[in-house]
Amino acid sequence: MPSTESQQNRLKEWFPHTSKPFIANAPMLGFADYRLATAVTKAGGLGFIGGAFDFSPSSTQLAKLDSELIKARTELGITDSGTLPIGVGFITFTPSGFEENVVPLLEKHRVSAVWLSFPKEDADHGPLIHAIRDARVKSEWSVKVFVQAGTVQGAATAAEQGADVIVVQGTDAGGHQWARGASLLSLLPDVRGSLGDVYDVALLAAGGIVGGEGVCCCVGSRRGWDCYGDEAPASIKDSIVKAQDGAFSTVKSVRHDVFQSTDVFPRQYDGRALVGISWNDAQSGVSDEEVIRRYDEAIKQGDDHRRTVWAGASVGSISSVLSVSDLMEQIQQEVKLTTASIMGCI
Ligand SMILES: Cc1cc2nc3c(=O)[nH]c(=O)nc-3n(C[C@H](O)[C@H](O)[C@H](O)COP(=O)(O)O)c2cc1C
């Protein structure tokens, strides 16, 4: 693998508007819209929009993505049809339609990066990566492929299949993740060691990073940013800021999805979220049917307090809502101060 320094240089070369260390926001579907992504890009990171998991021709997610990408270009003041310094993320466990309906859309908008996550099997990104790489050669499109992996085997497969960047996701992460995984502290060196000198990829660390401990990092839970997506109720920001001791106040389980009837991910994934009302009800013996009924009733009444708040184990360190530019500056400053003593850096 290239050294840390040369990975940093390569990311800078691929995404010239970014500053060092490289920081990206996670492409959180339903949470990371064009406003968050453009704010991150403007602040010197790589902004990602959460794109879609439905790749059918009639997908409303893809129609929305099309208009989000137009808004992103306008927001960044890019008037020509050149590269858009924005990436888009996709959840891939139902990959059908990706090649026909997604790749042409991304190519039309000349996005800089595509982030693939949560395949049915660790290996089934092959055809998707192939389709993107094919289009990039044919139309001189300078797009890079990011693949999120939560196991050593998944990372090796992604490298083998032609990913340019592997996002190494540890189990401290907020949101969906590999049910059998490990924290970044163990996973990152393990991935690095197993890829050895064979693969020419860059690594990006994700999971539990809210400050300067990560050198090339992706930030998800630290999302109490001022331009947070439309769909997020204010109660989510409040709960994240108020939560302390992420080891105690978050839990990794499939049940967060069960309680709100969103249990659609393959069984190799679960998710980390705040311990909430539904979780506590179930712990005190309320049946799943009744928890789901209470959830549905609350949503009908316009009450968000039972909604799953996807958040990582590091929520305890999030005590304020910062603007994107302040947060990026803070993380970069902290990296400069702590680089000498970090362990898990790439
Ligand atoms: C609210 C939320 C939504 C997420 N949605 C997605 C998603 O749609 N696609 C994806 O690849 N990862 C998603 N993730 C996981 C992130 O990619 C990333 O691994 C994680 O946020 C990093 O850990 P952190 O939350 O501790 O920063 C989500 C995370 C959160 C917190």
Q: Do residues 111 and 84 lie in contact, with contact meaning Cβ atoms separated by under 8 Å?
A: yes
Specify the CATH number of the domain 4-230+321-341: 3.20.20.70
Q: Is the CB–ligand 1 distance for residue 327 below 6 Å?
A: no
CA 104–ligand 1 middle distance (angstroms): 25
Instruction: Scan for tokens 């693998």, then name that residue.
Output: 1
Please list, in sequence order, all residues whose beta carbon lies within 8 angstroms of the beta carbon of residue 322, skipping any fewer than 6 positions away: 224, 225, 226, 330
Q: Would you state the structure tokens that stand for residue 264, as one six-digit string?
A: 């659609």
**Looking at the DSSP assignment, which residues form a beta bridge with residue 243?**
none
Residues with catalytic roles: 176
25 lines ligand 1 (CB under 6 A): no
How far does the centroid of ligand 1 lie from the alpha carbon of residue 128, in Å? Answer: 21
Q: Are 203 and 165 in contact (CB under 8 A)?
A: yes
286 CA from centroid of ligand 1 (Å): 29
For the CA of 172, the nearest atom of ligand 1: 26
Please tell me the predicted confidence (pLDDT) of residue 340. Answer: 39
Among candidates 141, 159, 139, 140, which has minimal Cα distance to 149? 159
Phi and psi at residue 171, in whole multiples of 5°? -80, 0
* Predicted confidence pLDDT, tens digits, the chain (346 residues): 777 778 888 999 999 999 988 999 999 999 899 999 999 999 999 999 999 999 999 999 999 999 999 999 999 999 998 999 999 999 999 999 999 999 999 999 999 999 999 999 766 899 999 999 999 999 999 999 999 999 999 999 999 999 999 999 999 999 999 999 999 999 999 999 999 888 889 999 999 887 765 556 777 767 655 545 445 567 788 888 899 999 999 999 999 999 999 999 999 999 999 999 999 999 999 999 999 999 999 999 999 889 999 999 988 888 888 888 888 888 888 776 654 333 322 2
Ligand 1, atom 1, residue with closest C-alpha? 310
50 close to 77: Cβ distance less than 8 angstroms: no
